[in-house]
């Protein structure tokens, strides 16, 4: 997401009783986390758990991270091994298996989505807050259709017109989340270089700036520009995003996109560090009002 290119290339023992409405990706993560708590509470190793369902310890690890789908039979066998034998206790988790295996709206784009980015789309769909810092492209959730097409063509210049159309459609479908009743807060900080780089040419960039000015009218969208004259800022390491969820069982997730993969961080010390960096970026960047004025001035400059 955040870089706007990935579509172009993924110890308590109580039983979870409410999973929220975050979609299949989040439900898998919640279910996996609960299975891990149950296993750890019984001092059962991943190897022992894997043997119980005729799988490797690596598969147990992937299940507990929510990175793969669940088989109801496997979860039932694990619950028995973990001592959860009461029907009423088992029912919520087995129901959760069926919900977690239901395809998300993005399923019809599976042929376009690498596995590592499909995970991100599911997390983005479930997040209550998305904070992102970008140095090269407009964040995917804020791209205009013309700008998105130009970015996609950088990577897929040889793709058919219908494939490019579908990739643009996917990006625009992700943006619908911003105008729904349960819309997340999107807080983006962009380096000035993003807006000086004429992706698609001056007309496309001017239309993109208009799109940004319209987007910041939404009550849940915040945008700040990091100007060139503030060069020694906090995020010297590059772009990243932080996602926060309404479900209390889910930790914040830091997402960093690479050329053909992505890094997901969810340990508290790691996510806290990135949150501190993001907070410092917001202090160092132009304010919301200054950023809007910058966009208006740049639009005027491009119209000259």
pLDDT in tens, 133-170: 999 999 999 999 999 999 999 988 899 999 999 999 99
Give the count of beta carbons closer than 10 Å to the beta carbon of residue 268: 10
What pLDDT is recorded for position 238? 85
What does the block give as tokens for 229? 């004259």
Mean pLDDT, each 10-residue run in order, the chain (304 residues) = 57 35 75 91 96 93 87 95 93 88 87 86 92 96 98 91 96 95 96 94 96 98 94 72 86 88 89 94 96 97 84
What pLDDT is recorded for position 247? 76
pLDDT in tens, 227-266: 998 766 666 668 999 999 987 777 899 999 887 888 988 8
What pLDDT is recorded for position 21? 45
What pLDDT is recorded for position 12? 33
Give the β-pairing of 240-244 and 253-257: antiparallel
What pLDDT is recorded for position 109? 92
The alpha carbon of residue 226 and the mean position of all alpha carbons in its chain are separated, in whole angstroms, by 22
User: Model-level pTM?
Assistant: 0.81
What does the block give as tokens for 99? 């919900």
19-44 burial, b at 16+ Cβ within 10 Å, e below that, comes to beebbbbbbbbbbbbbbbbbbeeeeb
What pLDDT is recorded for position 235? 61
Helix (H, G, I), strand (E, B) or coil at 256: strand
Q: Between the CA of residue 298 and those of 30, 198, 294, what are the distances in Å? A: 44, 12, 6
* Residues near 57 by beta carbon (within 8 Å), at least 6 away in sequence: 45, 46, 47, 49, 50
Residue in the block written with tokens 């520009």: 225
């Amino acid at each position: 997401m955040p870089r706007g290119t990935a579509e172009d290339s993924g110890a308590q023992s109580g039983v979870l009783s409410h999973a929220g409405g975050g979609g299949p990706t989040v439900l898998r993560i919640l279910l996996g986390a609960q299975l891990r708590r149950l296993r750890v509470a019984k001092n059962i190793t991943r190897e022992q758990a894997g043997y119980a369902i005729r799988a490797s310890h690596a598969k147990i690890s992937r299940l507990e991270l929510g990175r793969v789908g669940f088989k109801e039979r496997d979860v039932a066998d694990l619950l028995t091994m973990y001592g959860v034998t009461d029907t009423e206790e088992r029912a919520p988790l087995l129901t959760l298996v069926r919900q977690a295996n239901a395809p998300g709206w993005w399923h019809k784009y599976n042929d376009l989505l690498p596995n590592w980015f499909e995970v991100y789309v599911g997390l983005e769909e479930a997040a209550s807050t998305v904070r992102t810092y970008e140095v090269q492209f407009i964040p995917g959730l804020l791209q205009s259709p013309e700008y998105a097409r130009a970015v996609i063509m950088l990577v897929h210049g040889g793709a058919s017109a219908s494939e490019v159309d579908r990739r643009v459609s996917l990006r625009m479908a992700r943006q619908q989340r911003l105008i729904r009743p349960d819309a997340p807060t999107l807080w983006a900080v962009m380096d000035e270089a993003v807006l000086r780089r004429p992706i698609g040419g001056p007309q496309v960039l001017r239309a993109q700036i208009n799109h940004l000015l319209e987007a910041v009218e939404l009550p849940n969208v915040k945008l700040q520009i990091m100007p060139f004259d503030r060069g020694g800022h906090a995020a010297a390491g590059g772009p990243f995003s932080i996602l926060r969820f309404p479900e209390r069982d889910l930790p914040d997730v830091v997402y960093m996109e690479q050329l053909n993969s992505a890094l997901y961080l969810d340990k508290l010390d790691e996510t806290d560090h990135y949150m501190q960096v993001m907070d410092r970026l917001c202090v160092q960047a132009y304010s919301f009002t200054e950023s809007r004025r910058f966009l208006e001035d740049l639009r005027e400059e491009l119209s000259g």
